[in-house]
Structure 1
Amino acid sequence: MSNEVIGLVGRDNLTARVFQELRLALMEGRFRPGHRFKIRELASTMGVSETPIREALMQLVRARVLSMQASRSIEVARLSAAQYEELRSIRILLEGLAAERATTRISKADIASLKKYHQALVAAERGGHSREAVQVNWQFHHTLYKAADAPELLEMIETIWLRNGPLFNLLYPHATPTYPGRHQHLNVIDGLMAGDPEAVKQAIKDDLLEGGARLLQLLQDIEAGTAPSHLDATAT
C-alpha cells in the first residue's frame, strides 16, 4: 500500500485521527472489497504505532464496514447484490432528502465545485482513471449533501458510503455508469441553479437507479458465476 492511499497522521489523539483517515479513504473508494489490511505496513505508512491502527480497524469492524476472518485478518467487507440493493433503497431516501434540503441552501461556490467535480469525473472515466473517477464522484455527492446543513443526516449518509465506497471500484471498466438520457449529475446542477428542490431530489434518485444498474447486474452475475473470472469482488 502506497502513501497515495493513506498518508501520515499527527500525534494527537492518534486512534481518532487514524479512524478518520481510514473512514475518508473508504468513502472515497481508495480500497476495494476484500482488501486485507496489514497492520504493521499500515502503521509504517501512516507514521504511527500499531496500537491506534488496530483500535481504529476494530471500530470499523464493529460498524460492519470491515470484517474479521477466522484467521483474525481484517479486510474490507464485501456486499452481496441484495445488500447493495437494500442499501441503495435507503440511500434514495436519505440522499434525496439531503439533495432537496441543499437546493435552497447551497452556495454559488458549491455549485461551481459540483460542475468541476462532474467534469473531472467525465474526464477520469474517458481516460480510464478509475480511482480518480470513484473519488471525484464521492466529492460531487458529498459536496451536495453537506450543503443541506443537516449534520445528523450527513452522518447517516456517510455511514452507508463507508460500505458502498469500496464497491464502486467494481464499476470500472465492466459496469461504468450509463444513462438513457443525459448524465443525472447535469440534471442535479440544473435543478440547483433553478432552485427546484423536487427536480434535484428526482435527479439524485435517477442517478442512483440508472447509474447503479450495471453494478447491480455485475454483482448478480458474480454471484451466479457468469461474470468474468477475475471479477470476484476481491482485492487486487
Structure 2
Amino acid sequence: MTQIADINKIQEERLGHKIYLELKKKLIVGELMPGEGLSIRKVAEEYKVSAMPVREALRQLAIEQALISAAKKAYRVPDLTAGQAADLFFVRSILEGAAAEIATANATKADFKLLEKLIVGMNKYWQAKDAKSFLFTNYQFHSHITSLSSNSALQAMIDGIYLRTGPWLAHGITELVDLDAWKADHSGIVNALRARDAKTVRRLVEEDAYWGVSIYSAIDNT
C-alpha cells in the first residue's frame, strides 16, 4: 500500500467515525425513530461523502444492535415491541444504577458543577419543549456520571443500551406522556452524589431509567 493510499484510508476511517457519532446522536435525540430506514446512498448524499465511510458507520451501529440490516445496502432502526423496549430500559436501569453507585466516591466539585450546568440546560430545554436538545443534554448528564465509575466495560455496555433505547425514550416523551407532568429528579441525584450517599444515588438513577420500563410495560399489558 502506498503512502497516499495509507493517508486516504486514515481519512476514510476518521470520516466514518465522524458519521458514526452523528448518527449516534440522531438515535439518542429521536431524529431516527423505531422502524425508520437508512440507505447507504441517502446517508452518503446527506453528508456529501463516498459510500465507504457511511458503510463502516452503519456497520458499526449494526454491530452495537442500534440498527439492523434491512437489505444489501440498507439498514433500519429496530422496531421493537413495547415489551422488548421495556426490557432494554430495565437493563439500562440496573447497569446505570451500578455505575452511579461506584461513581459516588469519585465525583469532584468540578463534576458537581458540570452536572448542575447540564441540569440548567435540561430544565431550559424542557420548558421550551425542545425535546431533541433535552434528550442530548440528558444523555450527557447520565454519561458523565457513568464515566465517573472508571469501569470501561460497564461504560461500554451502558452506552450501547442507551443507544438502543434512545429512539424509544424520544418516542415516550414526545408521544406518550404529558410533558407538563413528567419530571426527573436530576437535582436529587447530584445532591446525593455530593453527600457521598451511594445507595441513594443508585436508587435515583435506577428510578430515572426505570421510567421507560413503566411506560412500555403498561402498553405491553394493554
**TM-score exceeds 0.5:** yes
**Comparing 129-138 and 75-84, the one that deviates more:** 75-84
- Structure number with greater CO (CA < 8 Å, separation at least 6) is 2
CA distance 1:82–1:214, shift in 2 (3 Å)? closer
Q: How many aligned positions are there?
A: 210
Matches of 2:80 and 2:187 in 1, distance apart? 29
Q: Point out 4+ residue stretches in structure 1 off by more than 4 angstroms.
A: 176-179
Matches of 2:38 and 2:165 in 1, distance apart? 18
**Comparing 183-192 and 58-67, the one that deviates more:** 58-67
Residues 92-111 of structure 1 aligned to structure 2 (within 5 Å): 92-111=93-112
**Comparing 91-100 and 18-27, the one that deviates more:** 18-27
Secondary structure in structure 2 of the residue aligned to 1:68: strand
Deviation at 1:70, TM superposition (A): 5.5
1:13-63 superposed Cα distances (whole Å, 9 cap, x missing partner) = 243443344334434544222222242332233342112212321232243
Structure 2 counterpart of 1:155: 156
Matches of 2:205 and 2:144 in 1, distance apart? 13
The answer (yes or no) to whether the contact 1:184–1:206 under 8 Å persists in 2 is no
* Uncovered stretches (5+) of structure 2, i.e. residues with no partner: 1-9
Deviation at 1:135, TM superposition (A): 1.0
1:176-205 superposed Cα distances (whole Å, 9 cap, x missing partner) = 5756xx742122111011111111001111
Q: TM-score, normalised by structure 1?
A: 0.77
Structure 1 counterpart of 2:189: 188
Matches of 1:136 and 1:218 in 2, distance apart? 27
Q: Which amino acid aligns with 1:114?
A: L
1:86-105 superposed Cα distances (whole Å, 9 cap, x missing partner) = 22222222111110111111
CA distance 1:70–1:57, shift in 2 (3 Å)? closer
Deviation at 1:220, TM superposition (A): 3.4
The answer (yes or no) to whether the contact 2:43–2:54 under 8 Å persists in 1 is yes
Structure 2 counterpart of 1:229: none
Q: Which amino acid aligns with 2:155?
A: L
Q: Which amino acid aligns with 1:11?
A: Q
Matches of 1:69 and 1:12 in 2, distance apart? 24
| Identical columns (%) | 28
Structure 2 counterpart of 1:175: 177
Q: Which amino acid aligns with 1:195?
A: R
Answer 1 or 2: which has greater helix percent: 2
* Uncovered stretches (5+) of structure 1, i.e. residues with no partner: 1-9, 225-236
Structure 2 counterpart of 1:119: 120
Q: Which amino acid aligns with 2:204?
A: A
Matches of 2:153 and 2:213 in 1, distance apart? 28
1:141 aligns with 2:131: no
Q: Which amino acid aligns with 1:84?
A: A
1:165 aligns with 2:149: no
Matches of 1:168 and 1:96 in 2, distance apart? 18
Structure 2 counterpart of 1:230: none
Matches of 2:25 and 2:137 in 1, distance apart? 13
**Comparing 183-192 and 196-205, the one that deviates more:** 183-192
Q: Which amino acid aligns with 2:142?
A: H
